[in-house]
Amino acid sequence: MFNETVKHYHRVWNTLDPVPYVPFKKKVMIDKLMGSNIISGYTHVGNSFNIAGNIVNNDINLLLYEILKGNKENIEMLLSDKSLLQNSKLLKFMLSDKYLELQLDSLYKCLEDVEVKEEITDEQLSGVILELQKDTTKLLNYSDKCELLRPFGLAEILKANPIGDDLEEQNFTIAAIGGSAISMNKMTSLAHKLEYYKEQIDILRARQVDKKIPIFETIDKIDFYEPRINLFDSVIGMIEGENFNYGDIIRLK
């Protein structure tokens, strides 16, 4: 009804800005994990205009996709000293619904409590993740492992949502979820700032002048689900010759 009544309403966002993804469109487990009052059932209105890409719908799974894509090298680093069998086991574990929901929630909790300083480099963040990996192996108690993530604001949420059937999966959870959350904290915090929006608008203005088309036509509008690509084969692709059945990770409903 809104879209039929208000014809020229544009909702401007960008792929890495975590704020336009909430409230969520449907009730999801993340609401329970966060203990938040984010209202489910919300639907975005207006003409979706993603200034940093060509994706139309900013479904929360798109941000999850970006978390996995943006941390591919860090995950590879955590798996580099493990056997093929261990890699297979941990990758399947990482792509379970419970792990992915906890990863997504941890990002928002991390953003709520802390912000990575802009001068911190990606190399320094990778070093932090390696230290997490080393420190978790020295501890036997899961609660003590979670305390390693207190500076990231994630100790309590990991304690409240323990996952993993053994020490290997628990150690991987602490290092991978904590590392992914803190590295994405830097990226998404920058993408939320007005300066980032201004930079992207300037790029589109230049394209508008160059192609002599209206600014709203400078991007191709593609539905996130349309390509139906196997996200984790193409994005993660960590083990050559191994074809895992990841299932339908992107939930369409």
Query: What pLDDT, on a 0 to 100 scale, did the predictor assign at position 87?
Result: 87
CB 55 within 8 A of CB 15: yes
Query: What pLDDT, on a 0 to 100 scale, did the predictor assign at position 61?
Result: 81
Which residues are CB-neighbours of 253 under 8 A, at least 6 positions away?
A: 26
End-to-end CA distance of the chain: 21
The single residue listed with the structure tokens 């394209």 is: 207
CA angle 123, 112, 75 (to 5 degrees): 35
Query: What pLDDT, on a 0 to 100 scale, did the predictor assign at position 220?
Result: 76
Q: Measure the CA dihedral 222/223/226/230, to 10°.
A: 100
Query: What pLDDT, on a 0 to 100 scale, did the predictor assign at position 198?
Result: 95
- For residue range 32-44, list pLDDT tens digits in order: 444 444 445 567 7
Which residues are CB-neighbours of 189 under 8 A, at least 6 positions away?
A: 111, 115, 116
Dihedral over Cα of 235, 91, 107, 119: its sign: negative
How confident is the chain (253 residues) per 10-residue block, as mean pLDDT?
86 92 60 48 80 81 86 90 88 87 92 89 91 92 94 93 90 94 93 94 92 86 54 43 33 30
Pair of tokens at residue 29? 């487990």
Query: What pLDDT, on a 0 to 100 scale, did the predictor assign at position 84?
Result: 85
DSSP letter for each residue of 89-103: HHHHHHTSHHHHHHH
CA angle 216, 221, 223 (to 5 degrees): 150
Helices 60-70, 97-113: inter-axial angle, 10-degree rounding: 90
Query: What pLDDT, on a 0 to 100 scale, did the predictor assign at position 32?
Result: 46
What one-letter code names the amino acid at 186? K
Task: Give pTM, 2 decimals.
Answer: 0.80
**Phi, psi for residue 162 in degrees, rounded to 5:** -65, 130
CB 128 within 8 A of CB 174: no
Length of the chain: 253
